[in-house]
Chains A and B, each alone.
Chain A
Amino acid sequence: AQSVTQPDIHITVSEGASLELRCNYSYGATPYLFWYVQSPGQGLQLLLKYFSGDTLVQGIKGFEAEFKRSQSSFNLRKPSVHWSDAAEYFCAVGPRSNDYKLSFGAGTTVTVRA
């Protein structure tokens, strides 16, 4: 069965500092990989996705993620955090098809301090 683990429940980072959110997955084959962000009271917005090719993928809002097959990881990074990045972040995996049945991690809440 597929599963997604986000080891960090809550991360606090200073504005301007770098951010890294961890994601590990268990899946039968290399899945499609996603990072979504959810601001309070909002739905989920896609930050980036990995299907194939270059293992370092660029997303919106200055985020990037690196797929490491050997570690079954897909960690999200941002070099310099802005106060508006405070939100909840979800890693998700799905099968390599267009059936869109995603499995999500429990999420990491990011707090940004001035």
Chain B
Amino acid sequence: DAGVTQSPTHLIKTRGQQVTLRCSPKSGHDTVSWYQQALGQGPQFIFQYYEEEERQRGNFPDRFSGHQFPNYSSELNVNALLLGDSALYLCASSLVVAGGPEAGELFFGEGSRLTVL
């Protein structure tokens, strides 16, 4: 059973460029959330997708956008990159309606490390 997979694992961009990060959720999961983890900090919620729509959004500017596809995979796009966007971007999947041992649990991928120069 494949867990959450993210690509690419590392990438380097320059200021002003655009980046797309990809995520495939755990098999059977229908909800994808994205988190930004800056160096030395805890993850911060960016947004969440369910049924191909943005369901919730954290305190991030419109430069951050996303998409969810019919197969539940997701993309995170960041436009006009700033130095401060350098971080580990984590994707997490879950079930909207979850009971049993997975209730309320997020399953995280290993992240995409973005460096903006």
Contacts and interface: CB of A to CB of B under 8 A. Distances in A.
Interface of A: 4, 32, 36, 41-46, 49, 51, 90, 92, 94, 98-107
B95 A102 contact: no
A94 B111 CA distance: 21
Contacts of B97: 98
A100 B31 contact: yes
Q: Which 9 pairs between the two chains have the least Cβ-Cβ distance?
A: A104-B42, A43-B108, A44-B108, A43-B110, A100-B94, A104-B43, A106-B42, A43-B109, A32-B104
Given A43-B90, A100-B33, A51 B103 contact: yes
Given A43-B90, A102-B45, A94 B40 contact: no
Contact of B45 (A4, A42, A45, A103): A103
Contacts of B28: none
B106 A102 contact: yes
A105 B4 CA distance: 23
B53 to A, nearest CB: 14
Interface string B86-112: 000010101111100001111111110
Given A101-B45, A102-B45, A105-B42, 18 more contacts: A4-B42, A43-B90, A43-B110, A44-B90, A44-B106, A44-B108, A46-B106, A51-B103, A92-B42, A94-B104, A98-B95, A98-B98, A99-B56, A100-B94, A101-B33, A101-B48, A107-B41, A107-B42
A11 B4 CA distance: 30
Interface residues of B, number: 29
Contacts, number: 64
B105 A49 contact: yes
A46 B105 contact: yes
Contact of A51 (B41, B56, B104, B108): B104
Contact of B103 (A92, A98, A102): A98
B29 to A, nearest CB: 11
A99 B92 CA distance: 12
